[in-house]
Amino acid sequence: MKKNIFKGTGVALVTPFKNDFSIDVEALKRIVNHVIDNGADFLVVLGTTSEAPTLSSNEKQLVINTILSENNHRLPVMLGIGGNNTQAVIETIKAQDFTDIDGILSVVPYYNKPNQRGMRAHFEAIADASPVPVVVYNVPGRVGVNLQAATCVELAQHPNIIAVKEASGNLQQIMEILRDKPADFDVLSGDDGITQPLMALGATGVISVAANAYTKPFSHMMRAMKEGRTEEALRLHYAMLHMNQLIFADGNPAGIKCLMSHIGLCENVLRLPLVTVSEKVKLDIVEEWKQLKDK
* Nearest of 35, 52, 63, 43 to residue 205 by alpha carbon: 43
CB 158 within 8 A of CB 135: no
- Beta strand ranges found along the chain (DSSP E): 8-12, 42-45, 77-80, 103-107, 134-138, 161-166, 186-189, 205-208
- Is residue 228 packed enough to be buried (19+ CB in 10 Å), middle (13-18) or exposed (0-12)? exposed
110 is catalytic: no
211 contact partners, CB below 8 Å, separation of at least 6: 9, 10, 11, 35, 40, 192, 218, 219
CB 74 within 8 A of CB 99: no
CB 47 within 8 A of CB 12: yes
CB 134 within 8 A of CB 78: no
3-class SS string, 77-116: EEEECCCCCHHHHHHHHHHCCCCCCCEEEEECCCCCCCCH
131 contact partners, CB below 8 Å, separation of at least 6: 93, 98
Among residues 137, 214, 216, 282, which one is catalytic? 137
Residues in the chain: 295
CB 25 within 8 A of CB 68: no
238 is catalytic: no
Among residues 2, 29, 60, 165, which one is catalytic? 165
Residues classed as catalytic: 137, 165
